Structures are given as structure tokens and as C-alpha cells.
Structure 1
Amino acid sequence: MTELTSNARDLFRNAYENRYTWDTDFPGYSADIELKQGDETYNGHIRINPDLSVEVTGIENEEVQQSVYTQLRDVVTHRKRTAFEDSHGKNKFSLGETDGSGAVEILVEGDSMGSNYKVRGDEICLVSRVMGRMAFVIDTHESLDTGEGYISKRYDAVFRNPQTDEIMRELEFEDIFEKVGNYYIMTRQVVRSKDKGQVTTTEFNYSNIKLLEPVAV
């Protein structure tokens, strides 16, 4: 392994391991959800179990219920702890360009989704992937330092057609987290979606957040 590739691997590994994740004692939590989109408001209840499965109840509109479920699955994906070797052990890393903000491009070989990244300091600030007929770039502008790792809190996602490079959809996210017991949990997310010139704002507000009690054996 050349020094450049080991540097790229170490740089990426350090940033990957610096993400804030929930530990193995995470008990799960329940919360009330209010979803606002335009003039419409929906209320329901959510639960993330200790095994990180997601339940959404009480929302009559199936599409809205699915939208909350998808959002929480994304939350879980980012908070789930996975060893670097399990996720990236087989990949080869090399250094690309450094941009004006000091972010270093990390090029990856062996990844089935054609992923590339940028690392700034000890944070992954950009993810670029191609999944079939959709390519996307997620660019982080601001993050929260929890003292136990960072959480992205302001970021955008641009989806393109990989053949034509045409922009299909643009999303901007703002996330707010609060510490409940020993864990950081999302209390609010605002998503601005730009689709063919139309802008839609969706708010997910979580309240009455309670960690679940471990079941006595």
C-alpha cells in the first residue's frame, strides 16, 4: 500500500469513525410527530425500537405515514454503528483534489455504488454516489459537535440523471438535535424540495420524546 493510499484510507477512516452514532445500549425512544406541508398538518406517533426498527402510527394519510417512516429509516441509518472494516474494508482509497475550503477528495475503488467523498478536517463533508439511473451528491454545510462525534445539521442533496447530468431534484435540509438522557435525538427537520421549479417545504417536528425502558428479563 503506497503512502498516498494509506493516507487516503486513514483520513477517511478517521472521519468515518468520528460520526456520532448510538451505542449498543441504545434503548430506543418514542415521540409524537407533527408533519407540516403547505397548509396541511398531520399528527401521529413514532417509535424507534432498541433493534433500530421503526414504527409510525396514528397518521391516516398513508403517503404521509410512509414519508415519516422513510425519514426515520434515514435517521437510523446515520446513527447506526457499523465497524469501518465491515463497511469499507474491501475498498481502495486514493486522494483526489483539495478544494478552496480545504476539503480533500477521497476516491474509492471497489464500492458497488461508485461512491466518492470529500473530507474536511475530521468530518465527511460530501458524499457522491451513483445508484442505477440516479446519481446524487450530498454536501454538508454545517455540523453539530456532540463531543462524541459530529452530526450533519445543514446539508443539501442534488439528484441527477447520470447519463445526461440533468438535475432531477434538489433538497435542502436543516436538522435540530437535542440530548435526551445520554443520546442525541432529532427534534426537528425542515426539508425544502425543489422539483421542476416548484419549491415545497416540509417540517417534521418531534415532541414528548421519551427513551424506552429496558425490558426486565
Structure 2
Amino acid sequence: MTEQTTASVLFQTAYESRYTWDENFPGYSADVQLVQTAEVYTGTIRINSDLSVEVTGVADEQVEEGIYTQLRDIVTHRKRSSFEQSHGKHEFTLGETDSTGAVEVLVKGDSMGSSYKIRGKEICQVSRMMGRMAFVIDTHKSFDTGSGYIASRYDAVFRNSKTNEISSILKFEDTYEKFGDYYLMTKQVVQEHLDGNPSITEFSYSNIKLLKPAVV
């Protein structure tokens, strides 16, 4: 096996081991509560079967936008697409193996200069650069749903790609529960460390109901 083939197989195995929603995903609705410092906001959300997102009833427009962005991130990670669709044009090479046994996989042909670390059958690090912003996401804990893994505790470090100066550190802790055939997020706690001042934002989802599939 050539190095490129080995790197490609390693990454493809980890990519296909992630938990994603299948083509029968009906969508769901829920009540949302966002707590930030002393402020509490509530509203309703809906992720449709086509993975479009709706957020309504939140008193503050900026908070509503923040909830929408968070749900779009969830959809990005749960959306199922084949390895060929997502990475068919990329070439992979092996980098170094770190002290934990995680193997670096470098990507050629990716506009964001992506690289990954694979431990076992899981992607445990994502590194990307977009213009002046670079970020590294490290997964510290995940759980096995029986049909793929979900990252449950992870950090994101954002830097200025020119100066390498850290601009922000986010620490995430996610909770998922099973509803029908699908695992859905019920809580996310985000600690943001900006200029040495930590702040905590907590998203909670309740009254979760799967939507009825459309009758064809």
C-alpha cells in the first residue's frame, strides 16, 4: 500500500465512522432556552427533513441568530454525504504520529489547508486556515451510538494566521439523547475564553418531537 492509499483509507474509515442522520431523517421541533450570564432567552426551533433550520420567538435578534448558527453547525456534522462527494478530489498523505498514537493526515487539493489527526477510527483533530483566521479543534471525548461516534467534549482554538496570536478559545460539552431512531442534541455548554475573560453560554433543548414524514 502506498503512503497516499494508507492515508486515504485511514481518513475514509474515520470519516465514515461518524454518526450522521440517514435519508429517512424526519426532522424535529423543540423548545430552546439560552442562558448567558444572568440573561435567559427562550424560543422554539425546528430542523426540517431537508435540514433547513428555523428559529422563532426569541426576544433578541442577535441571540436568535446565535441559536440559528449553533443549529446550522449541528446540521453540518449530522448531514450524511459520501466520502467521494466530500473528499473525492483530495489527496492524503501521512504526517507524524503524536505521543497519544494519533496519526496526522495532510490534505492536498483543499482550499482551506486542512489537516486532521486520526486516533483509532475517530477524527480527533481538525486544523484549517481561512484567510487571516486559523483554527484547531481537538476532541477529548466522544460516545459510540452503535451506528457512529459523536464528539461530546472538544475545544476550538482560533488564531490570527499571520501573527499566530490566539484570538479566542471555545470549550464545548454536548449532550445527546435518542428520540425514535435518532440521536439529537439536548444540551450544549460553551465556555468562551476571550482576552482572559471566560463567559459561559448554555443551550438547552426540551419538548423535542420528531416531525411526521411527509406523505408522498
TM-score of the superposed pair, with normalisation by structure 2: 0.99
Could you say which residue in structure 2 is the equivalent of 1:211? 210
What are the within-5 Å matches in structure 2 for residues 80-119 of structure 1?
A: 80-119=79-118
Deviations 1:74-124 (CA, angstroms, capped at 9, x unpaired): 000000001101111111101111011110000111001100000000000
Aligned-residue Cα RMSD (Å) equals 0.7
Deviations 1:132-159 (CA, angstroms, capped at 9, x unpaired): 1100000000001001000000000000
Give 3-state SS (helix, strand or coil) of 2:86's partner.
Answer: helix
What are the within-5 Å matches in structure 2 for residues 72-83 of structure 1?
A: 72-83=71-82
- The Cα of 1:216 is off from its aligned counterpart by 2.3
Q: Kindly provide the amino acid, as one letter, of the partner of residue 91 in structure 1.
A: H
Give 3-state SS (helix, strand or coil) of 1:186's partner.
Answer: strand
Deviations 1:166-210 (CA, angstroms, capped at 9, x unpaired): 000000000000000000000000000001111110000000000
Could you say which residue in structure 1 is the equivalent of 2:12? 13
Could you say which residue in structure 2 is the equivalent of 1:30? 29
Give 3-state SS (helix, strand or coil) of 2:14's partner.
Answer: helix
Deviations 1:35-76 (CA, angstroms, capped at 9, x unpaired): 000000001000000000000000010000000000000000
Give 3-state SS (helix, strand or coil) of 1:86's partner.
Answer: helix
Could you say which residue in structure 2 is the equivalent of 1:126? 125
| In structure 2, distance between residues paired with 1:100 and 1:215 | 50
What are the within-5 Å matches in structure 2 for residues 44-193 of structure 1?
A: 44-193=43-192
Give 3-state SS (helix, strand or coil) of 1:141's partner.
Answer: strand
Give 3-state SS (helix, strand or coil) of 2:123's partner.
Answer: strand
Q: Kindly provide the amino acid, as one letter, of the partner of residue 63 in structure 2.
A: V
Q: Kindly provide the amino acid, as one letter, of the partner of residue 69 in structure 1.
A: Y
Q: How many residues align?
A: 216
Give 3-state SS (helix, strand or coil) of 2:51's partner.
Answer: coil
Could you say which residue in structure 1 is the equivalent of 2:195? 196
Instruction: Find runs of 4+ consecutive structure 1 residues off by over 3 angstroms.
Output: none
| In structure 1, distance between residues paired with 2:104 and 2:213 | 43
TM-score of the superposed pair, with normalisation by structure 1: 0.98
- The Cα of 1:215 is off from its aligned counterpart by 2.3
Q: Kindly provide the amino acid, as one letter, of the partner of residue 8 in structure 2.
A: R
Give me the identity figure in percent. Answer: 64
Give 3-state SS (helix, strand or coil) of 2:146's partner.
Answer: coil
Structure 2 spans left out of the alignment, 5+ residues: none
Could you say which residue in structure 1 is the equivalent of 2:3? 4
Structure 1 spans left out of the alignment, 5+ residues: none
| In structure 2, distance between residues paired with 1:17 and 1:127 | 15
Give 3-state SS (helix, strand or coil) of 1:97's partner.
Answer: strand
Q: Kindly provide the amino acid, as one letter, of the partner of residue 119 in structure 1.
A: I
Q: Kindly provide the amino acid, as one letter, of the partner of residue 147 in structure 1.
A: G
Q: Kindly provide the amino acid, as one letter, of the partner of residue 59 in structure 1.
A: V
